[in-house]
Amino acid sequence: DQQVKQNSPSLSVQEGRISILNCDYTNSMFDYFLWYKKYPAEGPTFLISISSIKDKNEDGRFTVFLNKSAKHLSLHIVPSQPGDSAVYFCAASSYSGAGSYQLTFGKGTKLSVIP
C-alpha cells in the first residue's frame, strides 16, 4: 500500500511557464515533507521541504504548498527552465523510533521543460 503517491508519471511544460507537481499521502503521522530532484545516473538532491505546521514554503522559483486536510502537497516551479528537466520525488518523513526519520518516497514525476 503506497503511503506517498505521485499519480502523474510525467509532465511536459513550456519554458517560462509554471510547472505544478502533485503528491498525495495517506499516513497522518507524516510531519515533514520534502521534494527531491534526480538527474539520470545521479542520486536524488534535496530541493525544498515543508513542516506539517506550515502551509507554504518558498525558495526562489520553487514553492511547496501543503494542504493537511486533503493530505496533498504540490511543488510549483515558476518560471520553468530547461535545466529543471528531471525526475521529482515527493517524500514524507515520520519518526520511527531510535532517532530514525526514515523517508517514504513516491514513485516520482518526470518533468520535461521544452525550450
Partner 1 sequence: GAGVSQSPSNKVTEKGKDVELRCDPISGHTALYWYRQSLGQGLEFLIYFQGNSAPDKSGLPSDRFSAERTGGSVSTLTIQRTQQEDSAVYLCASNRLMDTQYFGPGTRLTVL
- In single-letter form, the type of residue at position 29 comes to M
CA-based nearest residue to 25, from 57, 1, 45: 1
Q: In the complex with partner 1, which residue's Cβ is closer, 2 or 28?
A: 2
Paired sense of beta strands 109-114 and 10-14, if any: parallel
Using CB under 8 A, which residues numbered 10 to 69 contact partner 1?
34, 36, 41-46, 49
What's the min distance (Å) between Cβ of 107 and partner 1?
Answer: 4
Span of 10-18, 58-66, 67-75, 97-105 interacting with partner 1 by CB under 8 A = 97-105
Q: Does residue 97 touch partner 1 according to CB under 8 A?
A: yes
What's the min distance (Å) between Cβ of 15 and partner 1?
Answer: 27
Cβ neighbours of residue 90 under 8 Å, at least 6 residues apart? 4, 6, 21, 23, 33, 34, 35, 73, 75, 105, 106
Per-residue cell: 45: 538532491
Residues that bind partner 1 (CB under 8 A): 2, 4, 6, 34, 36, 41-46, 49, 89, 91, 96-108
